[in-house]
Amino acid sequence: MHIQSLFCSRQSVKWRLYKVDNLIANTAASRPSNRFVELSAPVSFSFCISNNYAQHLAVVLASLLENNPGVPFVFHVLHRDVKPETEEKVRRLERMYPNHRIVFHRIDASAFDAFPIPRTLAHITQEMYYRYLLPDLLKDEGRTIYSDVDVLCVGGDIRELWEMDLRGNPIAAIRKNSGNDEQYIAHMDRMGVPRGSTYFFSGMFVMDLDALRQEGFTGKCMAKTVEKANELLFPDMDVINAVMLGRIAEIDPAWNMTDRFFFFRRGVKIWHFVCQTQKPWCCLWKNITWIPYLKYLLKTPYASNALRLVWSHVKGFFYFSYTKNLVTRHLIFGIRVWKSKERP
C-alpha cells in the first residue's frame, strides 16, 4: 500500500505521529542514578542507536570525555531495542568518567514502521527518524548537539561548538558538497529545494530546541516524510533540509570532517566516517580508521572486544566482502575478484 494513503486512512496512527508524548515508552525507568543528575550547565548531546551500535556509542562518548575532561555532559540516547544489560554496560562509563550522565529514551517503534528506508541504504534503520523527536522529547533543555555514532572526537574544546552563534537560525549543520551531479539536482527539485540552495548533512547539528518547539519542527518533519515518502533518497537528511530551507547556519567543517583525507587535515576536531568503507568496523584492507577507534575502545567497558576488532581487520586483508548500492563486492588480498548484484 502507498505510504501516503496508509497514513491518510489510518487517522489513529497519524495522530500518534504528531503527539510525541505517545512515542516515548518507559522513559522514567531509564533515568540515571541520582549521583549523576546534578551537573552544572552540562553540554547536551543526543544520539539515536540500535542495540547493535551500543559499542560504537560508548567509543564516541569516551572520545568526547577524554578530549574534554573539564566539561560536564548529559548524553541522551534514543532507541527502540537497547537491552537492559547493554544499557548497564554503557552506564559503566559514568563510573569511569564522573563528569557526565547518560539518559536512555525508549521510543515506540510502531509509529515509524511505515516510514520509508531505501533499499540502497542497507545499513540504515528506522532510528534515523528519531532525531525528529528531540525538541519535544527534551522539553527541559534549550539546546542539544545531535550526532551520529560513526564519529570520533579527536581534539578541540566542545564548548566552542556548543556555544556557537546560530545567528537567529534554529539549526546549525555542516554543508554537503553535492557538486553538479544532474541526478542529485533533479532529486532536490523533487524535494522542493531550489537549485543553488545549500544542502546540509544531518549527521551532526546544533539544535535550538526552544525555537524548534515553537515552530512545530517534529510535526513538520513527520508530515514531510509522509508527503515525500516515495521520493526520499537520504530520508532524514532530505526532510530536514526541505523543512528548514534557508534557516540552517553553517558549522565549521573541522567539527564534522568527512573528507577522505581527514587524517592529514590540521585542526580537525571531529572525524565523521560517512562513507561505508571508512567506518572503523569496515575491514576493507585500506581502511585505517579502526586504529584511532581502537584507542578509544580501550577506554570503554567494551575494551575486551579490542582483539576481536584487530583480528577482523587482519582477516579482512586476505578476504573481505561488502555491499553498497545493492552490489556485493568480494576482495582477496585487497583485489576485487568478483561482484554480485542483488535482485530488485
Q: Considering the domain boundaries, does residue 274 fall inside one? A: no
Parallel, antiparallel, or unpaired for β 151-153 and 270-272?
antiparallel
Distances (CA, A) of 158 to 145, 292, 335: 10, 19, 40
Residue type, 326: L
What is the C-alpha separation between 220 and 296, in angstroms, rounded? 38
Split the chain (344 residues) into runs of 10 and give each run's mean pLDDT: 38 44 50 51 96 97 96 97 97 96 94 80 83 96 97 95 97 80 74 83 95 96 90 89 94 87 80 89 89 97 97 90 78 77 60
What pLDDT was estimated at residue 177?
Answer: 66
**Residue 279 lies inside a defined structural domain of this protein:** no
> Is residue 241 in a domain?
yes
d(CA 137, CA 100): 19
Do the domain assignments include residue 328? no
pLDDT at 225: 92
pLDDT score of 286: 85
Rounded to whole angstroms, what are the CA distances from 305 to 83, 294, 312? 18, 9, 11
Residue 52 domain flag:
yes
**Looking at the domain assignment, is residue 85 inside a domain?**
yes
pLDDT of residue 261: 66
Which range marks the domain in which residue 61 is found? Answer: 3-255
Determine the pLDDT at residue 6: 37
Q: Which residue matches cell numbers 515525500?
A: 228
CATH code at 198? 3.90.550.10
Number of domains in the chain: 1
- Identify the pLDDT of residue 11: 39
Q: What is the pLDDT of residue 252?
A: 94
